[in-house]
Amino acid sequence: MYLISLSSIAIATLSIYSFLLLATLATAITTRGRPDSGLRPRVYAWWVIAPVITASLLTYPLGVLALVLLIAGLALQDICRLSVKPAQTLGCAALIAMMIVLIVMLLPARAALVLGCLYWLAYLFFLLSKHRQACLLIAWCWTACGLGFLYLLTVDTGIDTASRLSWLFFLIVCTCLNDVAQYLTGTRFGKHKLVASVSPNKTVQGLIGGLLFSAVFCMLLGSYLQLASLPWLCAIGIWLAIAGFCGDLLFSAVKRRLGIKDFSSLIPGHGGILDRADSLMLTAPALYVALRIVQ
């Protein structure tokens, strides 16, 4: 069963790379003579992001753990760089990370509940606190909790072992493509601002475009990977699109509070690792909850 899943994922991955190649060629043609176009580096950056994700899935489960640690390390670097007291921030962040690791390792059966409570507690602190250091640590807490859920998807015995890799592939691909769909539809058709005070680029049309695309794409990919029934896949697609949108908003609110546009310039056209992976910090918990309900 595992080999069948791996074969299906390999074919789907080749299809995604083919699509990325077409998108790259189309971008190169349409932006020719416009070196200042922001679309070109945004698309080209995926040729770095995609192989990293592919390598992590091919070396599952250790590769997924390495991906989690890579995202955590880069996120922590960005957060400490933005801090006025880097050493203090690093110490507090290390304690938070250690606590979450212990929760996942020692309380696997209750980890989801505890991490979910920490997520909401951090959100409550964010609403009450305007201190720069507190905002940075809250962003780190959300990141650590999101990565904790991502790791739980790899090790939780409540999820069918043979399908864990397929669900991880499904999660990452659907999250990334939902972001792209919301960006493209919002850029092309967006007229009505949704939450201008937090993220001026978020529009009603972009959200609707992401919801529709995610519902259809999740049904197609999920049925190909034989993950669940079509109604459940449609519901999960909509659920992930909403979660991804909210994850983006949470980290946009932090950036607005800090007075910055991006967490860093690590990924050309995207910003820092948290600018790229912000949606994943909420779609991972969302999918985990959905799977516990379905299975």
The total domain count for the chain is 1
Amino acid in the structure at residue 86: P
> What dihedral angle (degrees, nearest 10) is formed by the CA atoms of 222, 185, 57, 220?
10
Q: Where are the alpha helices (DSSP H) in the chain?
A: 2-30, 39-44, 46-58, 62-82, 86-106, 111-128, 132-155, 161-189, 204-224, 230-258, 273-277, 280-294
* pLDDT at res. 107: 78
Q: What is the pLDDT of residues 210-224, one digit of tens each?
A: 999 999 999 999 999
Domain hosting 67: range is 2-294
- How many angstroms separate the Cα of 269 from the Cα of each of 20, 24, 137, 185? 16, 14, 25, 18
**pLDDT, greater one: 218 or 2:** 218
Alpha-carbon distance of 179 to 280, in angstroms, equals 10
pTM of the model: 0.93
Highest mean pLDDT among 56-60, 173-177, 203-207: 173-177
68-82, 97-111, 119-133, 149-163 — which is least confidently predicted? 149-163
Residue 98 above 80 pLDDT? yes
Q: What are phi and psi of 271, to 5 degrees?
A: 110, -140
Per-residue HEC secondary structure of 3-69 comes to: HHHHHHHHHHHHHHHHHHHHHHHHHHHHCCCCCCCCHHHHHHCHHHHHHHHHHHHHCCCHHHHHHHH
Beta bridge partners of 193: 203
Secondary structure (3-state) at 203: strand
* pLDDT at res. 109: 74
Q: Computed from CA positions of residues 194, 198, 201, 207, in that sequence, does the dihedral angle turn out positive or negative?
A: negative
Give the residue among 185, 184, 199, 191 at the shortest CA–CA distance from 275: 199
Secondary structure (3-state) at 225: coil
Beta bridge partners of 267: 271
Alpha-carbon distance of 232 to 241, in angstroms, equals 14
* pLDDT at res. 142: 95
Residue 138 above 90 pLDDT? yes
Alpha-carbon distance of 164 to 180, in angstroms, equals 24
Q: Computed from CA positions of residues 274, 275, 280, 281, in that sequence, does the dihedral angle turn out positive or negative?
A: positive
Structure tokens at 164: 């864990």
Burial code of 143-171, b = ≥16 C-beta within 10 A, e = fewer?
bbbbbbbbbbbbbbeebeeebbbbbbbbb
